[in-house]
Amino acid sequence: MAQPCNLPRGGWRRLQQTGGICLAVALCVLALAPASDATSASPVGINYGRVGSNLPPPQAVLPLLQGLGIGRVRLYDADPNVLRAFAKTGVELFVGVPDQCLAAAADPAGAASWVKENIQPFVVDTKIVALTVGNEVLTGNNSALMRTLVPAMQSLHSALAAVGLDKQIAVTTAHNLGVLGTSYPPSAGAFRKDLLPYLCPILDFHARTGSPFLVNAYPYFAFSDDPKGIHLEYALLEPGYPGVPDPNSGLHYTNLLVAQVDAAYHAITAANSAASRVVEVRVSETGWPSSGDAGEKAATPQNAARYNSNAMRLVAEGKGTPLKPGVPLRAYVFALFNEDLKPGPASERNYGLFKPDGTPVYELSYKLPRDNSTFGGGGGRGNGTGGYNNNTDGSSGYYGFSAASRVATGRWTWAGATVAGVVAVLMVAAY
């Protein structure tokens, strides 16, 4: 089924941060907001980007995910070949609505058409749990696109509701942490004032629909910008690091990722105290590059392996942040493959856990527990068998990148798999 929008490849950017506060909405409305049942309780996922000239076909991805023990995947578009490859696998998908589709989706008729063409044909067999509308739109310096974001989210949610899918599929958008004007200490977290006219309606939308607030959080960038002020062990999430106290709240932060998440929580509270009671922050991208340009000295396989192993362990423990200890941290690692067509510094092309031939970029020291995976759970609303369609191929690009704020990047690697074993599995899947 044809995509209604073209899918250009996005660009690399790093954004400056400024500060913010906004009006709260009515307490009674938000207190009664329904909780969406569309999103998974299992915490660890991975981003499957396809801005590469040499990537394997989508059906060859399934053995790699099974080996990792990951059953949650974020896509950056609704490519039908990819959606068919995940049919009847039980893998939970966040499906992207590309930036260039937002203008059409802001119109109710356009949103209904997009859902009809890109979601309804697949939802019986494919476990689609959320739509991510655009990627880092508010920090992309495109005012026309920014104005269409909330209307597109609202229209897509209404389109899903019209066909009975609004309880099954959440609607959200992923933000660069550059939406924060202040992020340190976490208790001082606040949104940029110029973005509040957009963020306040988004928070209202999340509170009303029960969908999560997504952030692309990268400790790598914070460390790279201030290697003398931020300890490497703190940025790498090393469990032995003694941590940093927040002088205002008295809370203790043992790693930078949870500090970034709590800064987002504090920003939500400062902007909309009513929404903060019901809106959950989730990490839609995080990782660490395994290679970079001469000036990107922290981008090494060793650091990437340490960060992603620690991130997986941290999330799999099911614990919350210091501010929200009762809300398990949920995160998607960026990314599955190194992608050779991404512009920008060399690090942008080296976030993958795997090389395009399916061999690990490095070995992780941590392997996810079996219960993290959703494989074998069947498809969307139908009676899935746990198999998958081998008769698909092709790969298209996606819009948006991991490195849009000053926070971090990284990746993981599959521990316990031999290179020969991975290649053999890929060969079987490809044929």
| Distance from C-alpha of 290 to C-alpha of 347, rounded to nearest angstrom | 7
Tell me the β-bridge partners of 131. Answer: 95, 171
Amino acid identity, residue 105?
A
Q: Which two tokens stand for residue 239?
A: 């469990």
Alpha carbon of 220 to those of 16, 154, 405: distances in Å? 15, 33, 10
Q: Residue 375: its pLDDT value, please?
A: 72
The one catalytic residue among 92, 233, 280, 285: 285
The one catalytic residue among 136, 233, 280, 348: 136
pTM: 0.82
| Distance from C-alpha of 98 to C-alpha of 374, rounded to nearest angstrom | 26
Could you write out the three-class secondary structure of the chain?
CCCCCCCCCCCCCCCCCCCCCCCCCCHHHHHCCCCCCCCCCCCEEEECCCCCCCCCCHHHHHHHHHHHCCCEEECCCCCHHHHHHCCCCCCEEEEEECHHHHHHHCCHHHHHHHHHHHCCCCCCCCEEEEEEEEECHHHCCCHHHHHHHHHHHHHHHHHHHHCCCCCCCEEEEEEEHHHEEECCCHHHCEECHHHHHHHHHHHHHHHHHCCCEEEECCHHHHHHHCCCCCCHHHHCCCCCCCCEECCCCCCEECCHHHHHHHHHHHHHHHHCCCHHHCCCEEEEEECCCCCCCCCCCCCCHHHHHHHHHHHHHHHHCCCCCCCCCCCCCCEEEECCECCCCCCCCHHHHCCCCECCCCCECCCCCCCCCHHHCCCCCCCCCCCCCCCCCCCCCCCCCCCCCCCCCCCCCCCCCCCCCCHHHHHHHHHHHHC
Instruction: Flag whether 57 is in a domain.
Output: yes
280 assigned to active site: no
Of 272, 304, 264, 268, which Cα lies nearest the Cα of 286?
304
Instruction: Flag whether 17 is in a domain.
Output: no
CB 289 within 8 Å of CB 300: no
Q: Residue 377: its pLDDT value, please?
A: 64
What is the end-to-end Cα distance of the chain in Å, rounded?
23
Instruction: Flag whether 70 is in a domain.
Output: yes
| Distance from C-alpha of 17 to C-alpha of 181, rounded to nearest angstrom | 5
Q: Which two tokens stand for residue 332?
A: 């998607």
Instruction: Flag whether 107 is in a domain.
Output: yes
CB 316 within 8 Å of CB 372: yes
Instruction: Flag whether 200 is in a domain.
Output: yes
Instruction: Flag whether 297 is in a domain.
Output: yes
| Structural domain of 422 | 27-430
Amino acid identity, residue 245?
P
Farthest-apart Cα atoms in the chain, separation? 59
Per-residue pLDDT of the chain (431 residues; tens, 9 = 90+): 434 464 333 333 333 333 334 444 333 333 334 434 344 445 899 999 999 999 999 999 999 999 999 999 999 999 999 999 999 999 999 999 999 999 999 999 999 999 999 999 999 999 999 999 999 999 999 999 999 999 999 999 999 999 999 999 999 999 999 999 999 999 999 999 999 999 999 999 999 999 999 999 999 999 999 999 999 999 999 999 999 999 999 999 999 999 999 999 999 999 999 999 999 999 999 999 999 999 999 999 999 999 999 999 999 999 999 999 999 999 999 999 999 999 999 999 999 999 999 999 999 999 888 777 777 666 665 323 222 222 333 322 222 223 333 333 322 222 333 333 333 333 333 33
Q: Residue 43: its pLDDT value, please?
A: 81
CB 63 within 8 Å of CB 426: yes
CB 48 within 8 Å of CB 179: no
Of 377, 374, 411, which Cα lies nearest the Cα of 42?
374
CATH code of 175's domain: 3.20.20.80
136 assigned to active site: yes
Q: Residue 123: its pLDDT value, please?
A: 97
Amino acid identity, residue 358?
G
Instruction: Flag whether 11 is in a domain.
Output: no
Amino acid identity, residue 274?
A
Instruction: Flag whether 331 is in a domain.
Output: yes
Q: Residue 392: its pLDDT value, please?
A: 31
Total of domains in the chain: 1
Q: What residues contact residue 390 under an 8 Å CB cut-off, 6+ apart?
A: 59, 429
CB 289 within 8 Å of CB 349: no
Instruction: State the Cα torsion 293-298-304-307 to the nearest 10°.
Output: -150
| Distance from C-alpha of 305 to C-alpha of 302, rounded to nearest angstrom | 5
